[in-house]
Amino acid sequence: MFSTIKRQNQTSNENDIEIKEISDALFIENEKLIVHYDKPLGTGVCSAVYRGFLSGLAPLAKLSSLVETQKFRDCEVAVKHALHFGEHEVEQLLREIEAMRILEYDRNIISMLGWRMINDKPAIVFELAQEDLLRYVKMQKLKDRKEIPFKTIISILWQIAKGMEFIASKNIVHRDLAARNVLLTNDFQAKISDFGLAVINNPDIKETTLVKKFPIRWMSIEAIAEKLFSEKSDIWAFGVLMFEVFSLGQDPYVGIETRQILRFLRSGERLSRPELATNEMYEMMRRCWEESLETRPKFEKLVAKLHDVLEGESGYSKYYEELELSQEQEGSGPFNANNSEAIEVLDDDSL
């Protein structure tokens, strides 16, 4: 298995041993994994996800000394199977494996239990979650406003901030934080997923070479213009995720062409307040979108703020009252349908 990766990725000798150790330790024997190809959970451009079953103790549980990981035994799993195995897929695979190895376990991060090769293509095995946050908030459109569970939504945002605080503490920059990449369990535990673009062990990364496709509409000014990524660029993306949530799944910057986004942001313009966000929630978003990195909050501060909001709720009544007041003060903006792509090409011609 490792030799296949090495041929595809042409890894240097100094990296060979470390990558081999990681891949071997997380390897799942063929007889331990059953993939139910008749039970797809989702399909993307580069991969498809299927329901599966893992027999015995997961490699993660063998590697980890944490009690929480020992539950991953004889369990249903999600199997992310690459549709292609080119250079881009190899890079994303190695980034994801390395990030997951460092993170090990956190209740607000999806756990990678192991991986193997299936039909000469990599398959990564994760703990099973029920749906993604983007789909969940879009489903809220079908409800009357008084039925939308704002306390649950704020709890989900608080959990995401906690997970991102943990990720930042490990000097990992996610670089693809969006509602589509947050998974939810049946009891509404939020779990951050998809570390294929993650950068590790450097808190302020400026890359001279960049993978071709990045989520521009979730990226900060310095990430688009200078290819500079840090916790503060993930903070910006968290603000955009909040916009997605309170707009019930609207794409950011609808009506603005990709190449115009940087100019739009540099002029001081920002996403408008979503209809279902209170002034307090929108102010939090605006803080995430400060042009100066120094004035953006850290995840630690967002966790504390969202916890205060969550603890201050009495049912949903207080949130509804604040929402009505916000709309009286500012009015409601139009609700737009989704019409933009989540992932777009990032190159000089786009700017």
Q: What is the per-residue pLDDT across 194-220, written as a single tens digit (0 to 9) for each?
A: 998 999 855 455 554 445 578 999 999
Give which of 170, 62, 69 is closest to 110, Cα–Cα: 69
**In 3-state terms, the chain is what percent helix, strand and coil (to 5)?**
45, 20, 35
Q: Are 102 and 216 within one domain?
A: no
Give which of 143, 178, 146 is closest to 160, Cα–Cα: 178
Q: Are 209 and 271 within one domain?
A: yes
Q: Are 242 and 110 within one domain?
A: no
Rounded CA gap, 212 and 345, in Å? 6
**pLDDT tens digits, one per residue of 73-109:** 999 999 998 777 777 776 777 778 888 888 989 999 9
Residue after which a domain boundary falls, among 127, 152, 170: 127
Catalytic residue among 38, 74, 120, 176: 176
Give yes or no for residue 289 having a pLDDT over 50: yes
Question: Do 224 and 216 contact (CB within 8 A), yes or no?
Answer: yes
Determine the average pLDDT of the residues in 107-115: 95
Q: Are 47 and 146 within one domain?
A: no
- Active-site residue flag, 176: yes
**No. of helices (H) and no. of strands (E), the chain:** 12, 14
What is the CATH number for 331? 1.10.510.10
Cβ neighbors of 135 (< 8 A, separation 6 or more) are none
Q: Can you give the pLDDT at residue 205?
A: 53
Dihedral of the CA atoms 213, 217, 222, 227 (nearest 10)? 0
Cβ neighbors of 67 (< 8 A, separation 6 or more) are none
Q: Are 148 and 264 within one domain?
A: yes
SS3 assignment, position 261? helix
Residue after which a domain boundary falls, among 97, 127, 157: 127
Q: Are 208 and 304 within one domain?
A: yes
Give which of 182, 134, 131 is closest to 161, Cα–Cα: 182
Give which of 331, 210, 317 is closest to 282, Cα–Cα: 331
Residue after which a domain boundary falls, among 100, 127, 154: 127
Q: Can you give the pLDDT at residue 82?
A: 79
What is the CATH number for 47? 3.30.200.20
Domain extent at residue 284: 131-350
- What does R_g of the chain's alpha carbons equal in angstroms? 20
Determine the average pLDDT of the residues in 283-291: 98
Q: Can you give the pLDDT at residue 123?
A: 87
Give yes or no for residue 57 having a pLDDT over 90: yes
Determine the average pLDDT of the residues in 122-149: 93
Token duo for residue 81: 């199977």
Determine the average pLDDT of the residues in 179-200: 94
Q: Are 175 and 324 within one domain?
A: yes
Cβ density class 196-206: b for 16+ within 10 Å, e for less: bbbbbeeeebe
Q: Are 44 and 191 within one domain?
A: no
Q: Are 185 and 299 within one domain?
A: yes
Q: Are 170 and 113 within one domain?
A: no
Question: Do 191 and 108 contact (CB within 8 A), yes or no?
Answer: yes
The total domain count for the chain is 2
Question: Do 171 and 320 contact (CB within 8 A), yes or no?
Answer: no
Q: Can you give the pLDDT at residue 344?
A: 52
Rounded CA gap, 205 and 93, in Å? 20
Give the pTM: 0.86
